[in-house]
Amino acid sequence: MNTKNKGFDTKLIHAGDFHDEFGSAVTPIYQTSTFSFKSAEHGANLFAGKEQGFIYTRIGNPTINALENKLAELENGFGGIALASGMAAVSTVYAAILKTGDHMISTGAVYGPSRAVMESIFADFGVQSTYTNTAVLENIEKAIRPNTKMLYLETPANPTIELTDIKAACEIAHKHNIIVVVDNTFSSPYLQKPLNLGADIVLHSLTKFINGHADIVGGALIVKDEQLYKKVRKTMTYMGGNMDPHQAYLVIRGVKTLSIRIDRAQENAMKVAEFLENHPKIEWIKYPGLKSFPQHELAKQQMTGFGSMISFGVKGGYKAGIVLMNNVKLALLAVSLGGVESLIQHPASMTHAGVSKEARLEAGITDELVRYAVGIETVEDIIEDLEQALAKI
């Protein structure tokens, strides 16, 4: 079915999907590593690109391509590239665009490993980087060097929930021929479409909202134009960070309910945020949907919803955070986000326990910070769970 001019929800269900000769209702799993040629000439034509078809799963596979085509339509890109993980997408996009002597500018509060792979591996290959608060546009302007090739944005960034104005940042970057990559994991194309705002490449950890069921790890890159797409696709094919057909099948299944899952999750998040904002044991709260959120207007402008990630500070700091963790019963103590289940995390005592206090504070991870990924359970149960756990502090 051609879904190019159809609505977003129709694209979620039907874009990219194909039906086999038996009339399968869903895209089948082609769990095969390789594809046989009909003849020597057929093989030669496929390799030469004179005929469309499949050769080998690292290069392309019908199930994986179905997902790639769906994601490309959802983000309004020329083409999609599915990868083994979000980090495979990050390292592939760095490798595709940056070479020795090049410089990149990135949101300072990006997903930790996105910064770590740059500073600990790409730096060894001679790639330079500047990490800055891209919410302040002058910081981007100031960081630009003659050799700057990439602007890498994450918005909203985690755990500070800071937003970068994508459109304005792209205008600055494009004046200097800088390619803009946006990690859209926290919003998904349902809430934010960076390519429409001027970005060149969108990146996803499919592990989060897009798959949505906490049962696979996956990543994707969606590229706006054909030439750049071919370059990034070639890098993926050579470096081998490709997705597996079974993984693609699960993501295709998960993404079909993206909009109804996010609708419910953000409706719940708004109620949880309002509950926390008025709770005496809460010191501060950051949720883009709250009027008190400093960038509430920007959120309304570039996003069509506020998502379901909340950061808040508990009074009593580090110890109070631990008490809260040890008393919640419904929310799972886990990293990640975007699944149907609510997850809670206290970075100071959990994910960042091994990081020096200085480095932790520099990343905006204060002792009292708690991150809550609101799920789609009955909202009264989520609130009741928090209420009884907060009462133990």
Ligand X SMILES: *Cc1c(COP(=O)(O)O)cnc(C)c1O
Residues marked active site are found at 58, 111, 183, 208
**Residue 371 interacts with ligand X (CB under 6 A)?**
no
Binding residue for ligand X, selected from 86, 241, 339, 347, defined by CB under 6 A: 86
Number of residues in contact with ligand X under rule CB under 6 A:
14
Q: Please say which residue, 54 or 152, places its beta carbon nearer to ligand X.
A: 152
DSSP helix/strand/coil, 283: strand
Lookup: tokens for 136: 């302040």
Taking the complex as a whole, the smallest distance from the CB of residue 37 to ligand X amounts, in Å, to: 34
DSSP 3-70: -TTS-HHHHHHHTT----TT--SSPPP---SB---SSHHHHHHHHHTSS----BTTT--HHHHHHHHH
Return the range that interacts with ligand X (CB under 6 A); candidates 8-16, 79-87, 172-180, 252-260. 79-87
**Residue 244 interacts with ligand X (CB under 6 A)?**
no
Task: Say how many CA atoms lie within 13 Å of 199 toward its Cβ.
Answer: 28
**Residue 209 interacts with ligand X (CB under 6 A)?**
no
Binding residue for ligand X, selected from 68, 75, 102, 154, defined by CB under 6 A: 154
**Residue 219 interacts with ligand X (CB under 6 A)?**
yes
Kind of pairing, strands 103-107 and 128-132? parallel
Q: Please say which residue, 186 or 312, places its beta carbon nearer to ligand X.
A: 186
**Residue 208 interacts with ligand X (CB under 6 A)?**
yes
Query: Mind spelling out the 3-state secondary structure of 133-173?
Result: CCCCHHHHHHHCCCCEEEEEEECCECCCCECCCHHHHHHHH
**Residue 242 interacts with ligand X (CB under 6 A)?**
no
Rounded Cα–Cα distance for residues 97 and 258 (Å) = 30
**Residue 205 interacts with ligand X (CB under 6 A)?**
yes
Taking the complex as a whole, the smallest distance from the CB of residue 249 to ligand X amounts, in Å, to: 17
**Residue 73 interacts with ligand X (CB under 6 A)?**
no
Q: Please say which residue, 114 or 188, places its beta carbon nearer to ligand X.
A: 114
Binding residue for ligand X, selected from 65, 85, 259, 366, defined by CB under 6 A: 85
Taking the complex as a whole, the smallest distance from the CB of residue 160 to ligand X amounts, in Å, to: 12
**Residue 339 interacts with ligand X (CB under 6 A)?**
no
**Residue 129 interacts with ligand X (CB under 6 A)?**
no
DSSP helix/strand/coil, 350: coil
Could you give the C-alpha distances from 203 to 139, 218, 317, 340, in angstroms and in order? 22, 11, 34, 21
Taking the complex as a whole, the smallest distance from the CB of residue 206 to ligand X amounts, in Å, to: 7
Lookup: tokens for 196: 């429409």
User: In one letter, which amino acid is 323?
Assistant: V
Q: Please say which residue, 217 or 243, places its beta carbon nearer to ligand X.
A: 217
Return residues touching ligand X (CB under 6 A). 85-87, 111, 114, 154, 183, 185-186, 205, 207-208, 217, 219
